[in-house]
């Protein structure tokens, strides 16, 4: 280079400090949204329990420690009720097992055919007794759903026989034999399954389990008639809403994206109904007309489907009448066997206002425990360290743990309680006097 020529340098202009500040602000905003959406600052805690201080309840809390220990969801996403619900809805469970069962078919009086799957225990029960879990799944669900398979496999290994109701019309490969399918509170098919188990296994005792809509059905079934509680050791209901009439308004609200979930569930119900359109809307149907089918196509909420289709299966004159008569809130106070009601505080489907029902019931009835977790979503209750959830959930373990403790109580309770755990205080006081 010529020494007389000067060197030329190109200097990039400095970006203003404000630009760096904007980047930091954007990152901070994203992190804030993530923290808020994933609810990362929310603490973990044991379930909030409502119960009376009876001998049985105190025994349960002492002998079933999962009810009083912290429920710890996966760190990064488990505190979001939406992600817990979405993971349950999309995957059901992680690495779900494939338990082997036999499908049973039960003819009903109206020409319908109820089906349920029967799974024999894989080990002896710790009590030495014959105990059967009679299980009612959530809306439009059946024994092949992953969360049901996971729970059944775990229960079998703990020595329980399992009978799982397949909601009428829910199984894609089983045709309806009459123009009727499952509804929010019809107990006919569940009653038929329970009757079959009682007649087939004369020595067995029953643990009644219901998930979501299934929780409404099992509680309504037990409360409809006192004889339905015979040979029942206890009942567990998980994530139900208790009153469809009260839930109706909350499902139309956008709070917690509930209106969006309503749309998704309605879409799923439409698919189930339309898969049986030839039976439900065919020549043999006397309750449905062509206008009902056209309204079904345009429905965007469960309430529209219930009003145009579901209520007519049982001849209800209005949606209000249908919700009133099919909700367990009018029957649950008649249940006298030990009853565990489980809900999650961040369940996007069950509004917090509905939880006054189980809380008030537990305050008034000595056989009831109401357990409310901070997290868990709708039928999620996943556990895990940071990112990946365990195959077995807190929900699976709490149901089996509660059932095991009830069986243990039945085996060792004092003679003064031999007529039922629900009458604890009165009978023992009488025997002392």
Q: Which CATH superfamily is domain 43-243+335-410 in?
A: Alpha/Beta hydrolase fold, catalytic domain (3.40.50.1820)
The two three-digit tokens of residue 41, written as one number: 């600052």
Percent of the chain with pLDDT over 70: 85
Which range has highest mean pLDDT (17-21, 40-44, 395-399)? 395-399
Q: For residue 409, is pLDDT > 90?
A: yes
Spatial distance between the Cα atoms of 80 and 100, rounded to a whole number of angstroms: 34
Higher pLDDT, 182 or 290: 182
Instruction: Classify the phi-psi angles of 140: left when phi > 0, otherwise alpha if psi is within -120 to 50, otherwise beta.
Output: left
pLDDT digits (tens, 9 = 90+) for 227-244: 999 999 999 999 999 999
Strand partners, 234: 207
The per-residue pLDDT for 45 is 92
Q: Out of 35-39, 129-133, 369-373, which region has the weakest mean confidence (pLDDT)? A: 35-39
The per-residue pLDDT for 291 is 81
The per-residue pLDDT for 96 is 84
Task: Point out the residues that are catalytic.
Answer: 212, 347, 378
Q: For residue 40, is pLDDT > 80?
A: no
Q: For residue 29, is pLDDT > 50?
A: no
At residue 115, the 3 state secondary structure works out as strand
Displacement of CA 84 from its chain's centroid (Å): 13
The two three-digit tokens of residue 141, written as one number: 């669900």
Do 234 and 347 meet the contact criterion of CB atoms below 8 Å apart? no
The neighbour count for residue 336, using CB atoms within 10 Å, is 18
- CA-nearest of 225, 188, 216, 183 to 319 is 183
- Please tell me the pTM assigned to this model: 0.88
The per-residue pLDDT for 91 is 67
Do 200 and 225 meet the contact criterion of CB atoms below 8 Å apart? no
Do 74 and 389 meet the contact criterion of CB atoms below 8 Å apart? yes
pLDDT digits (tens, 9 = 90+) for 152-163: 999 999 999 999
pLDDT digits (tens, 9 = 90+) for 79-107: 999 989 988 776 667 778 899 999 999 99
Spatial distance between the Cα atoms of 192 and 112, rounded to a whole number of angstroms: 12
Q: Where are the domains of the chain?
A: 43-243+335-410, 251-326
The per-residue pLDDT for 433 is 38
The two three-digit tokens of residue 89, written as one number: 């809805």
The per-residue pLDDT for 41 is 78
At residue 340, the 3 state secondary structure works out as strand
Mean pLDDT of the 66-72 span: 96
Phi, psi of 236 (to 5 degrees): -125, 125
Mean pLDDT of the 44-58 span: 96
- Residue 132: half-sphere exposure toward Cβ, Cα within 13 Å: 25
Mean pLDDT of the chain: 88
The per-residue pLDDT for 95 is 77
Spatial distance between the Cα atoms of 162 and 158, rounded to a whole number of angstroms: 11
If pLDDT is split at 50, 70 and 90, which confidence band does 26 have?
Answer: low
pLDDT digits (tens, 9 = 90+) for 350-394: 999 999 999 999 999 999 999 999 999 999 999 987 778 888 999
Instruction: Classify the phi-psi angles of 72: left when phi > 0, otherwise alpha if psi is within -120 to 50, otherwise beta.
Output: beta
Spatial distance between the Cα atoms of 330 and 125, rounded to a whole number of angstroms: 35
- What Rg value do the Cα atoms of the chain yield, rounded? 26
The per-residue pLDDT for 282 is 80
Q: Which long-range contacts (CB under 8 A, 24 or more apart) does 165-168 make?
A: 165/114, 165/116, 165/134, 165/135, 165/136, 165/137, 165/189, 165/190, 165/193, 165/214, 166/103, 166/115, 166/116, 166/117, 166/142, 167/137, 167/139, 167/140, 167/141, 167/142, 168/112, 168/114
Higher pLDDT, 116 or 77: 116
- Residue 287: half-sphere exposure toward Cβ, Cα within 13 Å: 18
pLDDT digits (tens, 9 = 90+) for 172-212: 999 999 999 999 999 999 999 999 999 999 999 999 999 99
The per-residue pLDDT for 423 is 43
């Amino acid at each position: 280079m010529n020494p007389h020529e000067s060197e030329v340098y190109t200097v990039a202009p400095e970006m203003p400090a404000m630009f760096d500040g904007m980047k930091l602000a954007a990152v901070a905003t994203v992190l804030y949204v993530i923290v808020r959406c994933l609810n990362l600052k929310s603490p973990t805690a044991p379930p909030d329990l409502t119960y009376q201080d009876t001998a049985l309840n105190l025994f349960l809390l002492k002998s079933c420690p999962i009810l009083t220990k912290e429920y710890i969801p996966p760190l990064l996403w488990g505190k979001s009720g939406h992600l817990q619900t979405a993971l349950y809805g999309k995957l059901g469970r992680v690495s779900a097992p494939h338990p082997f069962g036999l499908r049973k078919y039960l003819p009903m009086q109206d020409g319908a055919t109820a089906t349920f799957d029967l799974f024999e225990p894989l080990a002896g029960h710790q009590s030495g007794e014959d105990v059967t879990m009679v299980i009612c799944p959530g809306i439009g669900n059946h024994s092949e759903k992953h969360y049901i398979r996971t729970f059944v496999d775990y229960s079998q290994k703990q020595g329980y026989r399992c009978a799982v109701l397949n909601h009428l019309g829910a199984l894609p490969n089983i045709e309806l034999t009459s123009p009727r399918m499952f509804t929010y509170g019809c107990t006919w098919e569940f009653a038929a399954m329970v009757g079959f188990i009682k007649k087939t296994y004369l020595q067995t005792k029953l643990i009644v389990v219901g998930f979501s809509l299934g929780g409404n059905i099992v509680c309504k079934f037990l409360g409809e008639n006192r004889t339905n509680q015979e040979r029942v050791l206890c009942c567990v209901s998980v994530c139900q809403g208790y009153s469809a009439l009260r839930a109706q308004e909350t499902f139309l609200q956008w709070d917690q994206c509930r209106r969006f979930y309503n749309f998704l569930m309605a879409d799923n119900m439409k698919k189930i109904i339309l898969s049986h359109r030839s039976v439900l809307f065919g020549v043999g149907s006397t309750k449905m007309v062509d206008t009902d089918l056209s309204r079904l196509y345009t429905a965007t909420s469960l309430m529209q489907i219930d009003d145009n289709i579901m209520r007519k299966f049982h001849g209800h004159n209005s949606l209000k009448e249908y919700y009133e008569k099919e909700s367990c809130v009018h029957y649950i106070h008649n249940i006298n066997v030990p009853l565990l009601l489980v809900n999650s505080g961040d369940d996007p489907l069950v509004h917090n206002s509905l939880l006054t029902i189980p809380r008030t019931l537990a305050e008034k009835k000595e056989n009831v425990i109401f357990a409310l977790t901070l997290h868990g979503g709708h039928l999620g209750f996943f556990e895990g360290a940071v990112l990946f959830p365990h195959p077995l959930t807190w929900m699976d373990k709490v149901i089996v743990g509660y059932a095991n403790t009830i069986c243990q109580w039945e085996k060792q309770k004092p003679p003064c309680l031999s007529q039922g755990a629900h009458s604890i205080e009165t009978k023992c006081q009488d025997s002392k006097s």
